[in-house]
Structure 1
Amino acid sequence: MSRYCRGRGARQNGGGTEIDLQGLSVPNLANNIAGKGRFVDQRTKLGMRRLNRGPLVSMLLAGVALPGVALADPTYDIFETLERPSLNFYGSPGLVDMPTAHALPDGQLAIGVSNFAGMTRTTLTFQATPRLSASFRYVGIRDWTDVVPGNFDTYRDRSFDLRYMLKKEGAFWPAITVGLQDFAGTGIYAGEYVVATKTFDNTLLPGRVKVTGGLGWGRLGSYGSIGAPFGGNRGSFVGGSTGGKPSFDQWFRGSAAPFAGVEWAVNDRWTLKAEYSSDAYETEDGSREIFTRKSQFNFGTEYQYSDGLRLGAYYLYGSEIGVNLQYQLNPRKPLTPVKITPVAPLKVRPSRATSPAAWDTQWAASTNQQRSLRDQVKEVLDASGLSLVALTLDSAKAELRLRNDRYQAPAVAVGRGARALAWVLPASVETFRIVLVEEGLAQSAVTLRRSDLEALEFDPQAADALLAVAGIGEATPRLPGAMENDDLYPDFAWSIGPYLSPSYFDPEEPVRLDGGVEVTASYRPAPGWTVAGGLKHRLFGSVGDKTTPSNSRLPTVRTEGPRYAREGETIIDNAYVSKQWKPGNDLYARVTAGYLERMFGGVSAELLWKPVNSNLALGVEANYVKQRDYDGALGFLDYSVATGHVSAYYAFGGGYHGQLDVGRYLAGDVGATVTLTREFTNGWKVGGFFTITDVSAEEFGEGSFDKGINLTIPIGWFLGEPDKRSLSTTIRPIQRDGGARLQVPGRLYEQVRSGHRNSLEDQWSRVWE
């Protein structure tokens, strides 16, 4: 039994992470193989592989991700910065208020915060593909009255944009992009556009000049109209009482107006901009009198402070001063490059002809010798942050089952496992079968020939050549007769530390925050079994300050969140027992019972079909739960529900993943959730989802239907050290009761697929690290 005490707890809202930082003392043999130096065991306990929910990611977006902002960085890539588009006041590639046609670098995340005339726009933009980008925007508008129900000193609104580059810029042709602005919000900023941008490097002016021209509809077609090319009529405000629904019938309809502008990058730091805007700001420059528009021309200057941070100041519409802060980052470029301890070259066997004794097989008949070899392999794996689960040996082949507690790339674990076997095992062992094990479940088996490892290590195409001769297939649930690692079970782990729990997008207060102390613990008596739970004590907070009763027409399965925060000072966050196992080939199962999340407790069962070499997975989950009491103790309310889903998962390739969940949600509504995610090889994930159920938009309330953004960031991206932990959050424009799904710890798909063929091949280039 092992006991770990950590000084920093970080689990949030039902998930969590525990980290053990202990220097390992290992024999010289292990040091020589895994790389000399002090090795740190960063073992993640329990199924708590992620820091869930928003606080830490919120801090990332607000400041933690901006260490490069603290000081100007004179070493940033000038040429890349010049190629990267700057953002307009809507947080999309653009001039000042108008869009341009260029796209951000593939995978880029951009955060824009702009303000003028009492209007503040905060936008998160993601370049999902080389041509397609999506944006989520949150705005505050001063003195916004008589436009939406109720009167607001500052009206707050949420909206989404989509942009698609129809044509990349060439030697003669400009880049051409089509865009939808505020296509699924209340429609305050709704507009569509087609825009072209051309870059001129060899002009009479120094630096680089970009010229833009386009045609806009909606907001972007409200001044200087040239007619309605596609007919139809539209008002200046298209949203309904609930908002959130795409207004398909109004896209590219009504009046269209031209806009244009020029951007001059004087040097690698300074840029000047000028534009002619086609937005009349009819609502703001009318009865609302938010500002007085005197001109359609806007001017600005921007300064590239560092590789990520750009600052701008502007003179808009002949009467207003505006400012814009832009920060861009790319998941592929860690804040601190990840450093993996180098390994010694692969140990090559001597020739059978010159050293016949080394090839002797008598050792295979000795149980003591086999156990000695197991212990040596275990020591080598420990030095690399890997754990031996079980080992089976005979004179010609070995099967190693290992647990990867350190590396985001499973291929690194496979490579280091093979290297450990090559260093320790006698020369007669030719075939290595390496099985990745996660939470007691065997994921896949990678079969390698030792002679291939010896021949290919220094090949110019070593990784591809090894993949061509490797076998990746199904792993049996258990290995009969294996020499198991008796140190793994039983296992007890606990942590104590601070927590933060935010609430977003309340019109009265956009950000609310609770914080306090959290204690988590887990006990694993045997493979696949977990007993775990967490306690929280709130020390401060404002989430519960919202006392307005829920106006939901549905069972209040989520909208009573403020009441849960207000009435529960010391709470049981969760407490459950879970069992995972493999009932057969390609099948994985889970049963979990207890207090599953802050608001619900009960029983959850899941069965997943996921072949190792398949892009497709299918799953079914069934739950019966009761709503927990508001005080977070042991009691329950009267509400109970049977809920569950049938799910299909598909890996499209290139890091793109899709998920479809069809079933019954917590409020009893029936429908489906569609999720699309892009995953990067270093563990970053950015995705979006929407849920449509048999609840009407009016019954659902504000937002019309559930939708949002999922974001996962690997810890190693910050630390510069190998680390499997990650931060996860979900950003929802509004949390209502429709389409609400149960939060269950330890769902199977992500855990299982992390060691299957797609995940291995995506990062196979790292197998020799």
Structure 2
Amino acid sequence: MRAAAAPVLLAVLLAGAATAQVADPVEDQSPVQDGALPPEAGSAEPSFTPLPAASLNFYGSPGGIDMPSAEMMPDGQFATTVSSFAGQTRMTLTAQVTPWMSASFRYHGMRDLNLFGFKTYYDRNFDVRFRLWRERRYLPQVALGLQDFSGTGLFGAEYIVASKRFRTPSWGGPARDGGRLMVTGGIGWGRLGSYNSIGALGTRPRFSGATSRGGEPAYDQWFRGPYALFGGIEWRPNDKLGLKLEYSSDDYVTETQTASLFNRRSPFSFGVEYQWKRHTRLGAYYLYGSEIGVAAQIQLNPRYPTRRLVVPAPYPVQPRAQWAGPPESWDTTWAESRGTVPGLRDRLTELLKRDGLVLESLEVGAETAELRYRNPRYTAHAAALGRAARALAATMPASVETFRLVPVADGMALSAVILRRSDLEALEFDPRSSAALLTVTGFADAAGRPGPEALPGAGLYPDFNWSLSHYTSPSYFDPSLPFRLDVGVDLRATWRPAPGWRISGKLRQRVWGNIKDGRLSNSVLPHVRTDTTIYAQEATTLENLYVARQWRPGRNLYARLTAGYFESMFGGLSGEILWKPVGSRLGLGLEGNYVVQRDYDQRFGFQNYDVLTGHASAYLNLGGGYEAQVDVGRYLAGDIGATFSVDRTFPNGWSLGGFFSQTNVSAARFGEGSFDKGIRFRIPLSSLLGKPSRAGLGLTIRPVQRDGAQRVYVPGRLYDQVRTAHRAGLEAGWARVWE
């Protein structure tokens, strides 16, 4: 029982981020090749019809039945695969992290294996695949892969594989440009070199993780030991049907010799697959001359929204010449009347409200207007920015030429975007309107407070709101029951007495759940995270209750103070300061916390454990949607070290990332897994519901939850609030500025 090593994955992500957007002119998966119109400059979201998704194997990676192929999924693709045969069930999450690299996390259960003291044995493993070169007219595509490359090594294998595609006549239904035949051949080591090997490269040592904590890379195993050939053919006569034939080099030694899960009679397997729906592919197979298998694949891509986003049409930008008379009549005498600006504010407030935006303040001069606004609706700040600019153009007197638009979060100004009104009028119907507007847009730091002449939005403070919603809280990888779940309702209330202040709390009522029946912790470190089972005993809990203040202490600086019950396990005092220039890709932060562990009943009491914890953080926007982060400091268990993470965020809000930590806690004291690591992803609700929303479904998966390298969860950390409204974040979604 163990997990794979995230450092290898993150190092590759960092190395490849700069080239991750290179389009493939040959592969069918290239968006511009898939019948799309080329995206305009500044746009990252072309509209196109996708080709059928790459076929995945039983391990959840592109391939035949049990063997891999060199095929890659479309860039950014997320795939979930469930496959089963001979008492084995494999559940895999795969992501095409870049056009040339994919990564997979798998949870594998085997009934009656009786391995390592478990009747039903569950194994967690990571894979990573790299495209070495692309398919050409006469040359195949070639890929290199590491399968289950650390830990127990039960499924450990390495391979080099080549695949070539050929066009065939279509048969039995519609097909784009006819059918497709793909021929694959490769050479494998480890499991993929265990049947009918043709040679050996040195000796493949047995990795000790098979009987210990696991989680560390097995470098000395890679591409060592016996190697063997494998291959297969996949024919897709049309867009729905797929037929597969495969020759396997996996002898299934553990399953057929150490145990008796099935009888491997032949190296050949056969399968048929059907594209049931746009995102779903089903398959049935006859494997190894003795077994029937089934599989289901679901593939989603941020570039192909599951539902088209439906929003109210924006206001058109009416050139002033059409309604304000000749230019000489654009005088500024109106600015001398004190009663004019409140009327402008009230009219602007109504226009913004229609678009789901909130006017925080308005300051108007003879030639300049500064609007501060909240964006509670749109995932892309650029979409909110464009609508706010159009509302200004529809309300401001003709002499107002310069717009300063300042997005605000909880009373804190995030940036200032400067637009000329004449540019809006001239570029609205330009063929390259988004890119053209970006070239004439200014980005600057915003003052901490509105100017003395600014009028605040009417009736904004104090503000009270509440909500009642359902929740689901999953728990993973308990050997006795791999998936546990609590479900119930949350009652949340928030009071904002003034700009920058927030008092918030959440009550939780569990309706049903079984996390309380999970295994107890065996950690030798302070139990800062592993007492989840004990914390789950109470059905009614106070999840959090805190007061927070955030503000701008100076140029390029953002600050936060939070006190109270931060989360279900800890409360205390937290302070944070962030340096982040609007036009810089680099940000630096410092956070300090004094926290006390809460009682298990999650009411108002505390336990005897307290700790000073905090981190210095560096944030770097790598371009192409990639963000790297390094946090160095002291964690909840008192251990000292660093966390490294890389996330990729798409313009529509989808994100995928991974992280790992190294601290002064040894692998032996850390326990199962050896060190902390995991993957995380977030899907915005707007792409699922077809309506604009800033909410999303997020999930962090750790192969094993331990107490080392754990941070306190503090609501409202600064960087994620700030980065999306700075220049790089706005440019990433700039294609939506005219929506």
Aligned-partner Cα distance in 1 for 2:204–2:341: 81
Deviation at 1:78, TM superposition (A): 12
Partner deviation per Cα, 1:110-153 (whole Å, 9 max, x = no partner): 111111110100000000100110000001011122x42x2x22
Partner of 2:721: 751
Of 746-755 and 407-416, more deviation after overlay is shown by 407-416
Partner of 1:522: 494
SS at match of 2:385: helix
Deviation at 1:109, TM superposition (A): 0.6
Aligned-partner Cα distance in 2 for 1:258–1:612: 54
Trace 1:305-454 onto structure 2 (pairs within 5 A): 305-350=276-321, 355=326, 358-454=329-425
Deviation at 1:161, TM superposition (A): 0.5
**1:159 matches 2:131:** no
Query: 1:119 is matched with which residue: 55, 73, 88?
Result: 88
Query: 1:698 is matched with which residue: 654, 658, 668?
Result: 668
**1:589 matches 2:559:** yes
Aligned-partner Cα distance in 2 for 1:104–1:498: 35
Aligned-partner Cα distance in 2 for 1:404–1:550: 43
**What amino acid maps onto 1:474 in structure 2?**
D
CA, structure 1 residues 162+608, in 2 after alignment: closer, same or farther (shift >3 Å)? same
**1:143 matches 2:112:** yes
Deviation at 1:436, TM superposition (A): 1.1
Aligned-partner Cα distance in 1 for 2:468–2:384: 30
Deviation at 1:291, TM superposition (A): 1.2
**1:134 matches 2:103:** yes
Q: How many pairs were matched up? A: 686
Partner of 2:63: 94
Deviation at 1:611, TM superposition (A): 0.5
Aligned-partner Cα distance in 2 for 1:578–1:759: 25
Normalising by structure 2, report the TM-score. 0.90
Aligned-partner Cα distance in 1 for 2:207–2:673: 20
Aligned-partner Cα distance in 1 for 2:395–2:169: 66
CA, structure 1 residues 620+356, in 2 after alignment: closer, same or farther (shift >3 Å)? closer
Normalising by structure 1, report the TM-score. 0.87
Query: 2:167 is matched with which residue: 188, 201, 205?
Result: 201
Trace 1:37-186 onto structure 2 (pairs within 5 A): 80-82=50-52, 84-145=53-114, 147-148=115-116, 150=117, 152-186=118-152
Partner of 2:576: 606
Query: 2:461 is matched with which residue: 474, 482, 489?
Result: 489
Aligned-partner Cα distance in 1 for 2:576–2:367: 39
Aligned-partner Cα distance in 1 for 2:490–2:420: 48
Trace 1:453-464 onto structure 2 (pairs within 5 A): 453-464=424-435
Partner of 1:226: 198
Aligned-partner Cα distance in 1 for 2:341–2:49: 58
Deviation at 1:586, TM superposition (A): 0.6
Q: Check the 8 A contact 2:332/2:366 in 1, yes or no.
A: yes
Deviation at 1:79, TM superposition (A): 8.4
**What amino acid maps onto 1:502 in structure 2?**
P
Partner of 2:3: none
Trace 1:735-750 onto structure 2 (pairs within 5 A): 735-750=705-720
Trace 1:453-602 onto structure 2 (pairs within 5 A): 453-481=424-452, 482-546=454-518, 548-566=519-537, 568-602=538-572
CA, structure 1 residues 290+399, in 2 after alignment: closer, same or farther (shift >3 Å)? same
**1:257 matches 2:223:** no
**What amino acid maps onto 1:524 in structure 2?**
R
CA, structure 1 residues 513+369, in 2 after alignment: closer, same or farther (shift >3 Å)? same
Deviation at 1:743, TM superposition (A): 0.6
Q: Check the 8 A contact 1:187/1:237 in 2, yes or no.
A: no
Partner deviation per Cα, 1:9-68 (whole Å, 9 max, x = no partner): xxxxxxxxxxxxxxxxxxxxxxxxxxxxxxxxxxxxxxxxxxxxxxxxxxxxxxxxxxxx
Aligned-partner Cα distance in 2 for 1:723–1:351: 35
Aligned-partner Cα distance in 1 for 2:349–2:276: 49
Partner deviation per Cα, 1:274-310 (whole Å, 9 max, x = no partner): 1111111111110311111111111111111111111
Aligned-partner Cα distance in 2 for 1:540–1:477: 46
CA, structure 1 residues 348+188, in 2 after alignment: closer, same or farther (shift >3 Å)? same
Higher relative contact order (CA 8 A, sep 6+): 1
Aligned-partner Cα distance in 2 for 1:248–1:359: 74
Partner of 1:671: 641
Aligned-partner Cα distance in 2 for 1:215–1:96: 16
Query: 1:657 is matched with which residue: 627, 632, 641?
Result: 627
CA, structure 1 residues 91+111, in 2 after alignment: closer, same or farther (shift >3 Å)? same
Partner of 1:643: 613
SS at match of 2:735: helix
Deviation at 1:719, TM superposition (A): 1.2
Q: Check the 8 A contact 1:236/1:282 in 2, yes or no.
A: no
Aligned-partner Cα distance in 2 for 1:574–1:351: 55
Q: Check the 8 A contact 1:645/1:663 in 2, yes or no.
A: yes
Aligned-partner Cα distance in 1 for 2:344–2:481: 62
Partner of 2:262: 291
Aligned-partner Cα distance in 2 for 1:443–1:597: 26
Aligned-partner Cα distance in 2 for 1:291–1:389: 68
Aligned-partner Cα distance in 1 for 2:540–2:166: 63
Q: Check the 8 A contact 1:236/1:283 in 2, yes or no.
A: no
Deviation at 1:352, TM superposition (A): 11
Q: Check the 8 A contact 1:85/1:102 in 2, yes or no.
A: yes
Aligned-partner Cα distance in 2 for 1:360–1:330: 52
Deviation at 1:188, TM superposition (A): 1.2
Supply the RMSD in Å over aligned alpha carbons.
1.8
Trace 1:711-750 onto structure 2 (pairs within 5 A): 711-750=681-720
Partner of 1:18: none
Q: Check the 8 A contact 1:513/1:542 in 2, yes or no.
A: yes
**What amino acid maps onto 1:600 in structure 2?**
F
Aligned-partner Cα distance in 2 for 1:353–1:303: 62
Partner deviation per Cα, 1:352-376 (whole Å, 9 max, x = no partner): 9953674121111111111111111
Partner deviation per Cα, 1:680-701 (whole Å, 9 max, x = no partner): 1111111111111111221111
Aligned-partner Cα distance in 1 for 2:293–2:189: 24
Deviation at 1:415, TM superposition (A): 1.4
Partner of 2:214: 243
Deviation at 1:345, TM superposition (A): 2.1
**What amino acid maps onto 2:97 in structure 1?**
A
Q: Check the 8 A contact 1:658/1:677 in 2, yes or no.
A: yes
Partner of 2:652: 682
Partner of 1:37: none
SS at match of 2:119: strand
Aligned-partner Cα distance in 1 for 2:573–2:707: 21
Q: Check the 8 A contact 2:185/2:229 in 1, yes or no.
A: yes
Aligned-partner Cα distance in 1 for 2:331–2:60: 69
Unmatched segments (≥5 aa) in structure 1: 1-76
Aligned-partner Cα distance in 1 for 2:211–2:51: 41
Partner deviation per Cα, 1:173-203 (whole Å, 9 max, x = no partner): 1010000101134211111100000001148
Partner deviation per Cα, 1:246-293 (whole Å, 9 max, x = no partner): 111111111111111111112222111111111111111103111111
